[in-house]
Structure 1
Amino acid sequence: MAEDSVLRTVLAAVREVAPGAEVNEDTQLIALRVIDSLSLLNLVALLEKEFSITVRDSEILPAHFESPVAIRAFLRSKGHS
């Protein structure tokens, strides 16, 4: 999956768990409270399904989910580029 399509998929997943939120690639998801703890877990579940990955509890860190670009970097570390 190309990097741009990864970012598009991440943005779509964020918009699904935070309907109505204005989100772009640099939106600070946690700091701006676009996502909360429950929507973060829903986002993780969507990403696991979409990218066929497993996200361990120890990997659910604010740094990995602070923005769509950070999520893309996290996915890259899991083998998706």
Structure 2
Amino acid sequence: MAEDSVLQAVLATVREVAPGAEVSEDAQLISRRIIDSLSLLSLVALLEEQFSVTVRDSEILPAHFETPLAIRAFLKSKGC
């Protein structure tokens, strides 16, 4: 998947777990409380399914999930 399509998929997935939230590629998801701990787990599950990756518990770090761009970078590190 090209980076832009990965980012678009990440944005769509974040919007799915945070309906009604305005989400841009650099939106501060955790610090602005767009996603909370439960929606983060839902987001991880959806990303695992969508991108056929496994996210270990030790990889669920704020740095990996703070923004859609950070999520894209994290997914890229996993081969997406």
- TM-score bin, normalised by smaller chain: over 0.9
**Corresponding residue number in structure 1 for 2:20:** 20
**Corresponding residue number in structure 2 for 1:43:** 43
> How much does 1:11 deviate?
0.2
Deviation per CA, 1:7-54: give whole Å up to 9, x if none. Answer: 000000000000000000000000100000000000000000000000
What letter is aligned with 1:27? A
Query: What is the percent sequence identity of the aligned residues?
Result: 80
TM-score (normalizing by structure 2) = 0.99
> How much does 1:69 deviate?
0.1
Moved over 4 A (4+): none
Unaligned runs of 5+ in 1: none
The aligned runs of 1:1-81 (5 Å cut-off) are 1-80=1-80
Unaligned runs of 5+ in 2: none
Give the paired residue count.
Answer: 80
